[in-house]
Amino acid sequence: MNKLKQYLLLFLILFAPMQIHAKCGEMRGTGDLGVVIERANHSILIVDTSHPSILCQITGLGDLSHASVVYSKDQRYAYIFGRDGGLNKIDVLQGKLVNRIIQAGNSIGGAISEDGRWVATANYQPGGIKIFSADTLALALEIKTNAKVVGLVDAPKQQFIFSLWDTGEIWQVDIRHIQTPIIKKYVNIGKQPYDGLITPEGRYYIAGLFGESGLALLDLWQNNPNVKRILAMVSNSNALPVYKMPHLEGWALAGHLAFIPAVGQHQIWVLNRQTWQRIKTIEMAGQPVFAIANPNQRQIWVNFALPDNHLLQIINTQTLSIERQLSPGKGVLHMEFTPKGDQVWVSVRDEDKVVVYETNTQKIITTLPAQKPSGIFFTNRANKIGL
């Protein structure tokens, strides 16, 4: 009996730590993992959301000042797009850099195809997109545009869609046959499209316009779609200087409503998604950058550009009013909800920390150290269109 107790104790000592707090490289699943960008340190943190903690740090990833991340279908690999044109493939289970290439002079993001086989990069310099094997990062296809590419997303039916800042166009690329892609071009969509998003069901691609009022909307469910202008009559005559551009992939979609940061305004615009007409304007504490919906769609969390980037405001989607204001610290750059919305992680760049809130009470669960953190990307993005 004593020997049995000894064996049982030995078993618990050996295996309990792995079950409770596995570190990078130990056996575990990927569904509760994520990446935090340390933008000034050329590094990332791999984090655990079940037991909010940092598992490990990976360094040597280049210029991450505007980094974004997509995931492989199995959620094991993260593809990180750097501003220096770097494309990094990270094994989030092993906590290591698998491959790194420099594919352009200046890159602004990327996407992964519907089947997970291809990773595409959006390039400012020299422009265009490049499509790589997700396995090896070998170049499979280059599409030249002679213009800066923004708003690159994946779309159903093995497509990539993006906008061109310089020429005011949207391009739709079908890569079902990678060596012979089918490209559709939509011209004269508006001046200076600065970003784009695709709605969660993959129906609408929307490009924001910096050079004029309104948005450009493409309905992908139509057989021969045309770009439609929405909100074109909304005036920006009272617009303020823009200190940081809103991010369209940070638009909040909740039920039949869309919550859009207004460029150059201290406002969130609420649109009816059936008509794409504005139904309400919510006055905010500053110029919104990201408006992020809790997965339960009951709350929209909003952060701001300077000089109000120490604040968060929470919009109630039922009353369309602000229900609470928080002050996580100076330099709030990004927010990310856990898959079921029980937590929201907030990067606070100027105070070198990530603050984790419990969303129902808005109380702080924990604060984690991070060197100039910016984007936060959890692995459940692997199962979402356009992320």
Q: Where do the domains of the chain lie?
A: 103-244
d(CA 144, CA 42): 29
pLDDT at 7: 44
Give the pair of three-digit tokens for residue 59: 């360094």
The second-level CATH assignment, the architecture, of 103-244 is 7 Propeller (2.130)
Round to whole Å and give the CA distance between 335 and 312: 10
Question: Which pLDDT belongs to residue 18?
Answer: 31
Using CA atoms, how far residue 46 sits from 55, 89, 107, 108, in Å, is 6, 13, 23, 22
Greatest pairwise CA separation for the chain in angstroms: 83
In the prediction, which pLDDT does 21 show?
44
pTM for this prediction: 0.90
Is the alpha carbon torsion for 139, 142, 148, 149 positive or negative?
Answer: negative
The Cα 168–Cα 255 span in angstroms is: 30
Residue 376 corresponds to which amino acid? I
| Mean pLDDT per 10-residue interval, the chain, length 387 residues | 46 34 73 96 97 97 94 97 96 96 94 98 96 98 96 97 97 97 97 91 92 90 92 60 60 89 89 92 95 95 95 97 98 96 98 97 97 97 93
Is the CB of residue 85 less than 8 Å from the CB of residue 105? yes
Q: How crowded is the C-beta side of 308, counted as CA atoms within 13 Å?
A: 18
Q: Could you tell me which of 73, 74, 179 has the C-alpha nearest to residue 131?
A: 179
Q: How many CB atoms lie within 10 A of CB 102?
A: 12
* Structural tokens at position 189: 């969509």
